[in-house]
Structure 1
């Protein structure tokens, strides 16, 4: 019995010692490994939070360790914030006695919100470091962020807690009217290229006012934001040709997330909305990443769209409703429903334009045209006075990329024409319809069907066409409609359809 008790006691002590060793963390300084030595947080606007970035920390040793301190070099004053394996520490900036098991790793998540005044005045870089260890013996991982100054435009908040809104019919939307004598920005009806503009809500242009956007301006929209041109208002986008390899002359409209991962994400903001009775001019504009690029309703006069690029919208590149539009040398690529929708009639004339839709949907179209809508199963028709497409490309990933839908009441005009266009339409059932008699209908002439245009890179929104005898767009344009320069500003010397003259792809570096 005495021997049994002795053996039991020894075994118990051995087990206890063994168990306790599993939870003993050795104080450890140095020897950590990191997934990177410097974390570059992509460009952010002043006082707008960044995306979250990741750093992985490795304990390569055979021992369980305790790191005395993990902290930001600027301590509680740092404009960076970190979490360490889900822990927030002291205000997301200082952590003590952080434990790691042998051969284990942990994640550190990093964010920042900083003012440009806190950045280096010559480089506009805001920097700090994550320090691991203890004073006098730290391992450091550098943090670097470029802070970009901007002009911020947003609705006022009133003393009663409400915010400024804009009237749309019988409703109100979150927005504000621009001010020609704002105490901070001066005349808000002129956007220059001195600083980017960041818009929250809808920036309104009332009757009698024109928003002029100068060459090289950059306009960024927060989620659910945009520009709203009211009845009698106007927008004039005065972009110019850019230096080769740059976009210095372009006016660019996009979301306010500057990280590269957001560069082609659709639906980041609302629309540039031209309401009934408004008008506009767009020259050398790039409009990307919204819900609708241009939403044009029953406009006054003609909206001109020249030398523009409209990319990656969750619904439409251009949604026109009883509108009057003339477009030249314009490229629209990738939209959830249609790159161009000419609806509820109207008047449209497009020359040397490229409409392509490779959005991942079985129902998307490059071009959709109709002259009615349906209310309680009753058609409401409108006059389609013209929908002319000359020397254009209408293409995409679906078998049918051009659709026509006419109201049953033939007393309403439905005038359309396609001349010397490359069109993807590969559906024998639809082709039997009256609107798609390509060989006998005089509304079609000189067109080529279902031949690949040989775009350079549709996923990168590069819709130049390659010099390739198999390209369906080369040499098919009607010289009578030739626009002397293409979207790049190059003189057209060959009769190619689309916004670009065919050219060789640049060699890869």
Structure 2
């Protein structure tokens, strides 16, 4: 044992003289051939509204070498009219220096762009730049491509007088835009309205969308004269994503509202009349040749009135709706929800509430004569419901009844449905039976499908609710005075029109 201690001392001295051992992946290489690799060669931003900025894009940078490399500089130059910013390892800058990437490791670079206004008003303009990497004297680039577009911005704005929203530039709403109670907002054909998360267009006065537009021929779904409302996220991922913004809200003082040749999509609700105390005369909204789709039906809270309601494509609290040649689809809770009175008129409408984005357990159409405000049940006010030449349908296996009238026996005389296709088991018999007046109840689909392409038949994203060749809704309508065109401005059959928003094209 007397030799153990001297031996340990000798070993310690020898170890002190040995060179330090580092993991191979931490050892730096200065070889100029030690290039980086990237998960893409181009960072593409979808259209960025000027002065607002874009979403953040990610770029993964890989060091495939066995040894570490020191990136001497990562940078991107801002140009006149555009500002870029980088976020690397928590540092925000346009240039970052001396970043070490271990062997066989990676680095995440975040890129953001802000574009300033230019004289180019309507068309998007292209802005290109390079994200540069210098490693051991070796320069590499990743292209950065952005499309910018000028816009009119409405941030918590109150609109007074007779205002016109032109179609020369998009309109972007932040928080809200409020049409004053003594004012009228007219929206021109082809206008594009993009709303930020949670933003609303609130109408205390009058809203008139495409009030005088008269198309001269058949419209295509992407017709440039259609007014379109959607969220302000422009990436392809958000093209058909529900719940990105609030919706269009009409206050108790609102009046003379007309919505024509319009698309409203990707909102929490589509059209809301908020008149919970049944103020007279009730607000009215006339809707023609419109598509309302991808409605998340997120719960809406009205703190001042103690109300919490799910959204809907069309939601009325003591309000009147006249709806013609209109499609409602992919509404997460209700396509139509009316409470405490109101008049609901649907002519040549298709409520095809297929909901591939949601697990829906509610009926597509729900009407009730009562409502609770601050926990107190308000006096019942019977709604009036009229439907002609329309479709109420879905593929929901959870719901055999897509049409419900709460306390309907109390206002049965106010309900009139004729020449319509309905999915209902509840109203095949009894005092509210709809097995009359030319209605078609619960037709068996296949081989005579109602529609051309639905989520139950086609798993893609593009669905068509035009009638299938052998649809049971074909030529089962009756002519309605003054309604001679369909949603796409095609002429209706003058003697035996089709049921629903679309008239089937003849060969």
Which residue is 1:171 aligned to?
A: none
Residues 409 and 364 of structure 1: is their aligned pair in 2 closer, same or farther, counting only changes over 3 Å? closer
SS at match of 1:261: helix
Distance in 2, matches of 1:217 and 1:178, equals 17
Question: Map of 1:152-191 to 2, 5 A cutoff?
Answer: 152-155=153-156, 176-180=157-161, 189-191=163-165
Distance in 2, matches of 1:240 and 1:258, equals 29
Residues 10 and 397 of structure 1: is their aligned pair in 2 closer, same or farther, counting only changes over 3 Å? farther
Which residue is 1:421 aligned to?
A: 420
Which residue is 2:490 aligned to?
A: 490
- Whether the aligned pair in 1 keeps the contact of 2:81 and 2:118 (CA below 8 Å) is no
Residues 454 and 437 of structure 1: is their aligned pair in 2 closer, same or farther, counting only changes over 3 Å? same
Shift of the alpha carbon at 1:408? Answer: 8.2
Q: Deviations 1:405-461 (Å, cap 9, x if unpaired)?
A: 344893x67511222222222x4xx4577455343xx5x533231544234245746
Shift of the alpha carbon at 1:243? Answer: 5.3
Shift of the alpha carbon at 1:11? Answer: 5.3
* 1:454 partnered with 2:451: yes
Distance in 2, matches of 1:413 and 1:353, equals 22
Residues 480 and 273 of structure 1: is their aligned pair in 2 closer, same or farther, counting only changes over 3 Å? closer
Shift of the alpha carbon at 1:125? Answer: 2.1
Distance in 1, matches of 2:432 and 2:462, equals 29
Distance in 2, matches of 1:413 and 1:446, equals 17
Which residue is 1:285 aligned to?
A: 262
Distance in 2, matches of 1:365 and 1:39, equals 44
* 1:37 partnered with 2:44: no
Question: Map of 1:284-433 to 2, 5 A cutoff?
Answer: 284-297=261-274, 300=282, 302-315=284-297, 316-359=312-355, 360-374=358-372, 378=377, 380-384=379-383, 386-398=384-396, 399-407=399-407, 410=410, 415-425=414-424, 427=425, 430-431=426-427
Which residue is 1:133 aligned to?
A: 134
- Whether the aligned pair in 1 keeps the contact of 2:352 and 2:465 (CA below 8 Å) is no
SS at match of 1:19: coil
Instruction: Identify which of 218, 222, 226 aligns with 1:246.
Output: 222
- Whether the aligned pair in 1 keeps the contact of 2:121 and 2:151 (CA below 8 Å) is no
- Whether the aligned pair in 2 keeps the contact of 1:372 and 1:407 (CA below 8 Å) is no
Which ranges of 4 or more aligned residues in structure 1 deviate by more than 6 Å? Answer: 1-4, 75-78, 118-123
- Whether the aligned pair in 2 keeps the contact of 1:29 and 1:68 (CA below 8 Å) is no
The alignment's TM-score, normalised by the length of structure 1, stands at 0.80
- Whether the aligned pair in 1 keeps the contact of 2:252 and 2:283 (CA below 8 Å) is no
Distance in 1, matches of 2:189 and 2:81, equals 39
Which residue is 1:161 aligned to?
A: none
Distance in 1, matches of 2:482 and 2:432, equals 25
- Whether the aligned pair in 1 keeps the contact of 2:53 and 2:113 (CA below 8 Å) is yes
Shift of the alpha carbon at 1:331? Answer: 0.6
Q: Deviations 1:124-171 (Å, cap 9, x if unpaired)?
A: 22332211116974200011111110111223xxxxxxxxxxxxxxxx
Structure 2: which 5+ runs fail to align? 276-280, 298-311
Shift of the alpha carbon at 1:284? Answer: 0.3
Which residue is 2:309 aligned to?
A: none
Distance in 2, matches of 1:121 and 1:477, equals 43
Shift of the alpha carbon at 1:211? Answer: 0.8
SS at match of 2:488: coil
Residues 55 and 501 of structure 1: is their aligned pair in 2 closer, same or farther, counting only changes over 3 Å? same
* 1:18 partnered with 2:21: yes
Distance in 1, matches of 2:125 and 2:187, equals 26
**Number of positions where the alignment pairs a residue of Structure 1 with one of Structure 2:** 463
SS at match of 2:118: helix
Shift of the alpha carbon at 1:404? Answer: 2.7
- Whether the aligned pair in 2 keeps the contact of 1:205 and 1:211 (CA below 8 Å) is yes
- Whether the aligned pair in 2 keeps the contact of 1:382 and 1:413 (CA below 8 Å) is no
Distance in 2, matches of 1:9 and 1:415, equals 102
Distance in 1, matches of 2:286 and 2:122, equals 41
Structure 1: which 5+ runs fail to align? 156-175, 181-186, 505-509
* 1:218 partnered with 2:192: yes
Distance in 1, matches of 2:453 and 2:41, equals 37
- Whether the aligned pair in 2 keeps the contact of 1:76 and 1:94 (CA below 8 Å) is no
Q: Deviations 1:38-59 (Å, cap 9, x if unpaired)?
A: 1111111111121121212222
Instruction: Identify which of 216, 227, 235 aligns with 1:259.
Output: 235
Q: Deviations 1:332-376 (Å, cap 9, x if unpaired)?
A: 112232111122222222111111223313323321122222465
Residues 307 and 390 of structure 1: is their aligned pair in 2 closer, same or farther, counting only changes over 3 Å? same
